[in-house]
Amino acid sequence: MTHAREDFTVMDATVTTFGKQKFVAVSKSLALFLFILFIGCIIGTALLVYHLSSCQPMSKLEESTLIVYDKFADVEATTAEPDGSAPETEESVISTTTEGVKTESEVGDVRLPRSVRPHSYNLKLIPFIVEGNFTFHGEVTILINVTVTSHNITLHADDLIIDNVLVREHLHSNKFLSIRQVANETKRQFLIVYLNDPVEAGRQYFVSIRFRGVLNDLLQGFYRSSYKVNNETRWIATTQFQATDARKAFPSFDEPALKARFQISLARFKNMSSISNMPQTGRPEPVANLPDYVWDHYQESLPMSTYLIAFVISDFECLTNGTFSVWARRSALSQTKYALQIGPQILEFYEDFFGIKYPLPKTDMIGLPDFSAGAMENWGLITYRESVLLYEEKVSSKGSLQRIAHVIAHELAHQWFGNLVTPVWWSDLWLNEGFATYVECLGANSVNPHLKELDQFVINELHGAFMLDALKSSHQISIKVNNPDEINDIFDRISYSKGAAILRMMQHFLSMEVFQRGLNKYLKSRMYKNAEQDDLWRMLTEQSHEDGVLDPNVTIKEIMDTWTLQTGFPIVTVQRNYENQSVTFTQERFLANNDNRSTNSVLWWVPVTYADPKKTLASVWMRVEPVLTLDLNLSVDDWLLVNVNQTGYYRVNYDARNWNLIIEQLQKKSGHLVFDPKNRAQLLDDALNLASVGYLDYDIALNVTKYLKQEREFVPWKAAFTSLDYMYEMFVRTAHFDKYKRYLLDLLQDVYKEIGFDERENDEQLVVYNRFEVNNRVCRLGVRDCVINSIRQFETWKNSPYPDHRNSISENLREIVYCTAISVGGQAEWDFAWERYLNANVENEKETLLMALGCSKEIWILSRYLEWAVTERSGIRKHDSARVFAAVANNAIGQQLAYRFLKTNWNRLRTYLGASSMSLSSIVRSCTVRFNTQVEVDDFKTFLKSKEDEFGVALRTAHQSIEQGEANVKWMERHSGKIVKWLTANV
């Protein structure tokens, strides 16, 4: 799509547009008239440009683009030769017709042919960041290596207009290969250059392409972002290429295995700056015929994949620590200090952990106002949402401090695992994301050891992975994917959290020392190349055999393939024989909907660890066997605990007697302290989830929760809240909610009194976290003391003469205070919070307010809020639209409202967010995952069936929501009555 006032008739090649195309037929006379009118407009525009250039340089960039391409002399491989002459023959230029060329692929394979591989790119881009234009022009010259003689060159391009393609054997040669046609296959996003004469195997050629595109507002590819300074809009041009969107910015071989070197040049306004993966070389140079623009040239990169390329053109500023810089809006620059403090420390930790120095000469990190992901690990230029990079003392919460450390640690881990060594194909995405998710805990722990990061892993990653992986619609960690929607679909809990959990499990059965040495071998053997999971398994096997920690007849591949190539995870059932002291372990797949348990025959290599009151600690392998029996010297009154510290990726069930022995131990005064906090979290999470599926009697599971009256640690409480919140969601719209409410308040009474509502000086951070979790539930359940405290603090803030500058509410409790006050208040409270949202300069605060605004009990306010979430210039950024839907759907009053809005405005959502946006998937999940009646589930099934072809990246999410909804319906049918009976008897 090109701005109407731009003209490119000076180009002598076919214009090929990628994306949906529309055509209009006109008569010859009308065409002649339009042509004459068109030429007149060009002349008039050129004269206008000439006369106004000295006084209004920024307002006429659109008109200047005509001259840019006529005089683009400093870009290699233009249509004209270096001496200005025309190409040698007309055959050098693209055919002016694409008649007979298929525009849609009839082939299932979306991978590029391997007859040609890129060696290096020379890329030049001019983005026009001007209101009413938002386009970019570019030229790329790709040096290719031909491996198989071929009559075509196939690469990627999407949403680009191709103006000219040239192929030659020598860069400055006058001899061009004759091009028969240039075609696009929209479905596969292929740009195919058909040649009359072949490119020959073993030789190199230069492919030069001129192109144009739009700086879109969908946060994909090369896109635009903005922010305001004193009501003046400032524009930014930036990138997000993972997984398959580099092709939206320039024609490229856009697959992770096709690594190449990149030399990038960016044109920008003189009063702005640009950054890219590598440092700049030399001084900026003027851009011909654009007096307000200069070129920034960058060093050639190391071999890297296209999805890791990044560039940003902005008026941002940075703080620097040596070769490490953090960029932000000028008004937010002070918020970069924490990132600048911990970033170099974490980088140094990883250099030691991996045993390999960071390979690039610099690191830039930048917080962007609009960004679809949380962050992106582009090599040498890491891009972030502001909320996960910027921290403001007394405004950002302690939780955001930890979140920032985790995200920075995650992206810096990628600089080795993902960037230095990259998966061959997206099927092994988990090698990137699972590894970075696990190692981020180690990196974050290196700068915040007091936070017990490795304990929190259990509740933040492991338990979260279980929830999704218990569904039949889950998927293998390593899964075949083809089209972009399928690729984007696996950026989920399975690739991230499950991937991290099985790596943690492997690290524990190998030991950290062996694990590190194996990783070092792997990274050094594949530096600047690509790898598959088998390459990692091979290096770890070699190391574990060398160090004698693994049976010489067993390989890591043999063990780990059962975890990466199979869907789901096992439940290990422990059955004790109290007469002969033997213990039998059995395994089967754990499923949230387990009606066909007997047909489930999937087995794993399970590292079973166990302990008893005598502090015996031992381990044994279940080698893809359904049953294992051991003789243990246990007293009949001794409990047995399996999966010590929950290092294994499996759930554990016991016979009733052993469960009761564990419960007795937990309920003794301080008896729970015998178990590590991670195991207390495990016992709570396993028991309640086992009961929900029918493996365990709910009486036993709920009896486990009784000990919580004396629990004060954050990790076990967080695990309990996750499972108890599920019961909240199931009961909140029923007549029996009061029983649940009374029981939970009974559990919380003592800890609430002890921990209090107000913060105390020198509180440890985990105490701060626990106070938030406790108060959040107490206020939500309507406890008067909590509600009054919230209202009082909110009103004090509301009545402040300078509410945008003076907020005495603790930054760690604001989410609770805001939500509570808005839920019991009316329009005045909502409007006040909305104004604070619009005026806030700290993104963490804006996110807190966005979630709280969904707490209103006024249906019309919630409806308006959803409307604003998908309205341009409403004040809500596109990357926050999904957050609004989550906030409303999380409100019992708003659940059906959000779902109805989703159905009624489906086409609008797809258009506004983009059909391939991950936000769409998030919205589908938040609007449907709480269904617990057959009517709700059936209605969504009908809607999905009518729109299935349109769900794209959200299709798997939709099926998962249906499966979860069906499990919820069965839960209500089978368990609600028994639970109500237990709750009634135990309050």
Report the catalytic residues: 411
Cα–Cα distance, 165 to 184 (Å, whole number): 13
CB 502 within 8 A of CB 649: yes
> What is residue 567's DSSP assignment?
S
Cα–Cα distance, 162 to 182 (Å, whole number): 9
3-state secondary structure of 71: coil
CB 725 within 8 A of CB 411: no
CA dist list (Å): 399 to 340, 387, 865, 890 = 18, 12, 26, 20
Burial of 632 (C-beta count, 10 Å sphere; 0-12/13-18/19+) = middle
Neighbours of 874 (CB within 10 A): 15
Neighbours of 959 (CB within 10 A): 17
Paired residues of 192 in beta bridges: 154, 183
> Which of 921, 843, 853, 943 has the alpha carbon at shortest distance from 890?
853
Long-range Cβ contacts of 43-50 (<8 Å, 24+ apart)? 45/5, 45/7
Find all residues with CB under 8 Å of 636, minimum gap 6, and list them. Answer: 578
CB 172 within 8 A of CB 119: no
CA dist list (Å): 583 to 536, 609, 795 = 35, 13, 61
HSE of 885, CA atoms in CB hemisphere, 13 A: 27
Helix (H) or strand (E) holding 620: strand 617-623
CA–chain centroid gap for 410, Å, is 11
Read off the amino acid at residue 738: D
Read off the amino acid at residue 237: A
Tokens 């290596």 map to which residue?
145
> What is residue 555's DSSP assignment?
-
- Show the DSSP H helices in 676-756 as ranges: 677-693, 698-705, 714-731, 737-755
CB 646 within 8 A of CB 678: yes
